[in-house]
Amino acid sequence: MLKRLVKHKLAILGALIVLAFLVAAAFAPYLAPRDPLKSSLREARKPPSPTYPLGTDHLGRDLLSRIIFGTRVSLLMAVISVGIGLAVGTPVGALSGFYGGATDMVTQRIVDIMMAFPGILLAIVVVAVLGPGLWNAMLAVGISFVPTYVRVVRGAVLELREREFVEASRATGASGLHIIVRHIMPNCIAPIIVLSTLQMASAILWAAGLGYLGLGAQPPTPEWGAMLGEGYNYGMIRVAPHVTIFPGVAIALAVLGFNLLGDGLRDALDPRLRGRL
């Protein structure tokens, strides 16, 4: 009983955290006390104080305002890269799983190749080709999410295509595409929702990682990872540690929110995904 309650509470906590970040992104101009881009060298590297609740960075910009506006950048990057993975990976996975045979073989080998570049490395390869920047980083993270969607959706479809209702639809002479769209996909919604929520967490982490490495959002864009990287590069970790501490807290909180929500959704929608997602 206690266990159930805690699980439930954690999922709600996750939803609240996500909601808080959404609100921060939507109302950033009203919530931020100052202009996130306005620098003033006289105010540089100020520790947290009543005037600057989280202090200022190496150009004297208000850190709290930058973090609040950074919510927009990070959430936008996450939504778009998850969107790319979803839009490309879902149909490919569905077709691959449903038709099997040579289509499946070729698709799976391509997925193998993409998965040979572990984690963020595939995104780094894409950035190496396209060049650093906010949009290229989104595209890069999106591309590196494609194989995961292909694998998860394919797995779900493989299981579903043997079920009676698919058999029944086929017996009525329905086309393959009709069966996929009308009968199979509605049953794949649960794993896709769970995966997408958890991928939001990864997307925020990876986008921030690219930003930190200087391969993602470029200054002066207030992106959490890039802010942290700038804080480190300008040797400020010693003199102004708050510049490296706070953006990281924002990243960790946002990731925690999506992870908790994703875990909760998984347990509620499809407990069999436990251990797989």
Query: Would you call 159 exposed, middle or buried from its count of C-beta atoms within 10 A (0-12, 13-18, 19+)?
Result: middle
According to CB under 8 A, which one of 15, 59, 79, 130 is a site residue for another protein? 130
Backbone angles phi, psi at 59, to 5 degrees: -105, 10
Tell me: does residue 102 bind another protein (CB under 8 A). Answer: no
Backbone angles phi, psi at 218, to 5 degrees: -100, 150
**Smallest distance, another protein to C-beta of residue 217, A:** 15
Tell me: does residue 158 bind another protein (CB under 8 A). Answer: no
Tell me: does residue 252 bind another protein (CB under 8 A). Answer: yes
Measured between alpha carbons, how far is residue 82 from residues 69, 71, 127, 142 in Å? 20, 16, 17, 6
Q: Dihedral through CA 207, CA 211, CA 215, CA 218, nearest 10?
A: 120
Instruction: Give the x-and-dash track for 70-89 against another protein (CB under 8 A).
Output: --------------------
Tell me: does residue 251 bind another protein (CB under 8 A). Answer: yes
Measured between alpha carbons, how far is residue 68 from residues 25, 121, 222 in Å? 7, 29, 9
* Residue number with CB closer to another protein (89 or 216): 216
Residues lying near another protein in the complex (CB under 8 A): 2-3, 6, 109-110, 112-113, 115-121, 124-125, 127-132, 201, 205, 208-209, 212-215, 225, 228-229, 232, 237-238, 241, 244-245, 247-248, 251-253, 255-256, 259-260, 274-275
